[in-house]
């Protein structure tokens, strides 16, 4: 890859285009090669300018960002980072499912007045997107059928059943649609509770829980401190708190405001380490697509405690950072395509050994 990242900034607001251009110009490794104010203009300039990354607003005249997105990723190698409103997470998740690499939240009332604050957030997103190989933009979208479409027919509610296994899942960049694929292959009949750490900005936890609930009969809930774990239920860590588990026969969620790990809170490592301590050989760790190495240390803790560990493979990951770190360290017992992850979880939660 070249040393300079070429960026096309797309937004119908002249002020937002100016703010983003100024923010990105603070990094000598990024060059804004153009701007656009409509979806039609975005498609045309993506085709002629061939940017590495496009920042694409969702709400625009002529064509919305959602409508322009498929045209951009089909006709160019550009990775697309959506500009999302915090009060419209469903549209943001839809964009990720269509092939957008990531998103930047536009605060109510516009971007922060502090240029340095804006630059830090946006530059990180742009550089993360640039590291995605163009062919991996479609890694999740192109998974159809196979194991990911499994549906149970004898599902039961989780209430009253003892938790025999805890499945701890970690994801970051590309994670929301990947989690949908995984949960579409699971049902509430397994004697397992599910803990989910997905790196997201504030305001997106509840919408992720709702979205995952639509793919399965497993209730997916935003986690609250003191919640009792129930078999056949899932819990999403809220923004700003690490999610831990305490106890075994009467296991409960604990939310912890300890410092960030890997620059994020919640982080997967503390969650997985707590699951390993309390559930040992009945722990199942899963690391999905994402930048960085969060989850590798936690997966190793589960492996050392006798539990099962699973990492998504490179070909189906949007970013093979977190699962790659787990695989390279030897912490993952099974490295499998995304469409096989739910099958590995089902096998492990039924106490079946082998691949």
Q: Show pLDDT as tens, one digit a residue, over the chain (355 residues).
A: 567 999 999 999 998 899 999 999 999 999 999 999 999 999 999 999 999 999 999 999 889 999 999 999 999 999 999 998 777 899 999 999 899 999 998 876 666 556 677 788 899 999 999 999 988 887 766 664 444 444 443 443 445 688 999 999 999 999 999 999 999 999 999 999 999 999 998 889 999 999 999 999 999 999 999 999 999 999 999 999 999 999 998 999 999 999 999 999 999 999 999 999 999 999 999 999 999 999 999 999 999 999 999 999 999 999 999 999 999 999 999 999 999 999 999 999 987 644 3
* pLDDT of 112: 56
* pLDDT of 239: 96
Q: Which residue reads 């530059």 in tokens?
A: 123
Show Cβ contacts of residue 36 under 8 Å, excluding neighbours closer than 6 positions.
8, 9, 10, 42, 44, 45
Q: How far apart are the first and last CA of the chain?
A: 36
Q: Would 5-138 and 146-349 be classified into the same CATH topology?
A: yes
What residue ranges do the domains of the chain occupy? 5-138, 146-349
Catalytic residues: 172, 199, 294
Question: Selecting from 1.20.58.220, 3.90.1150.10, 3.30.300.30, 3.40.50.2300, what CATH number does the domain 5-138 have?
Answer: 3.40.50.2300
* pLDDT of 140: 66
Q: Which residue reads 């998103």 in tokens?
A: 103
Question: Selecting from 3.30.1950.10, 3.40.50.180, 3.90.110.10, 3.40.1160.10, what CATH number does the domain 146-349 have?
Answer: 3.40.50.180
* pLDDT of 276: 98
Contact 256, 286 (CB under 8 A): no
- Residue 269 sits at φ, ψ, to 5 deg, of -55, -50
* pLDDT of 135: 87
* pLDDT of 146: 40
CB count within 10 Å of CB 252 equals: 13
Contact 27, 123 (CB under 8 A): yes
């Amino acid at each position: 890859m070249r040393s300079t990242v070429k960026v096309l900034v797309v937004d119908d607001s002249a002020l937002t285009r100016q703010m983003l251009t100024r923010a990105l110009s603070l990094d000598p490794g990024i060059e804004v090669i153009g701007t656009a104010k409509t979806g039609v203009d975005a498609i045309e300039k993506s085709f002629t300018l061939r940017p590495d990354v496009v920042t694409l607003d969702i709400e625009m005249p002529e064509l919305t960002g959602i409508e322009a997105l498929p045209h951009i990723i089909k006709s160019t190698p550009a990775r697309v980072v959506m500009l999302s409103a915090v009060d419209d997470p469903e549209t943001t998740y839809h964009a990720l499912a269509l092939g957008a690499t990531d998103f930047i939240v536009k605060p109510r009332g516009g971007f922060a007045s502090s240029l340095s604050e804006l630059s830090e957030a946006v530059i990180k997103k742009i550089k993360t997107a640039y590291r995605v190989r163009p062919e991996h933009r479609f890694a999740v979208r192109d998974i159809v059928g196979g194991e990911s479409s499994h549906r149970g027919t004898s599902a039961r509610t989780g209430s009253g059943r003892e938790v025999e296994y805890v499945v701890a899942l970690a994801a970051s960049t590309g994670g929301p649609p990947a989690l949908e694929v995984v949960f579409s292959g699971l049902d509430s009949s397994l004697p397992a509770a599910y803990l989910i750490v997905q790196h997201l900005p504030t305001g997106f936890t509840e919408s992720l829980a709702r979205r995952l609930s639509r793919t399965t009969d497993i209730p997916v809930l935003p986690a609250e401190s003191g919640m009792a774990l129930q078999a056949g239920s899932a819990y999403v860590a809220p923004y700003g708190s690490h999610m831990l588990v305490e106890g075994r026969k009467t296991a409960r969620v604990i939310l912890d405001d300890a410092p960030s790990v890997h620059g994020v809170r919640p982080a997967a490592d503390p969650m997985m380490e707590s699951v390993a301590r309390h559930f040992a050989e009945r722990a199942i760790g899963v690391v999905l697509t994402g930048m960085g190495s969060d989850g590798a240390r936690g997966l190793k803790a589960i492996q050392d405690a006798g539990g099962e560990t699973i990492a998504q493979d490179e070909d189906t990951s949007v970013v093979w950072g977190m699962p790659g770190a787990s695989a390279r360290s030897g912490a993952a017992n099974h490295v499998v395509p995304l469409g096989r992850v739910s099958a590995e979880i089902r096998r492990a939660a039924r106490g079946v050994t082998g691949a």
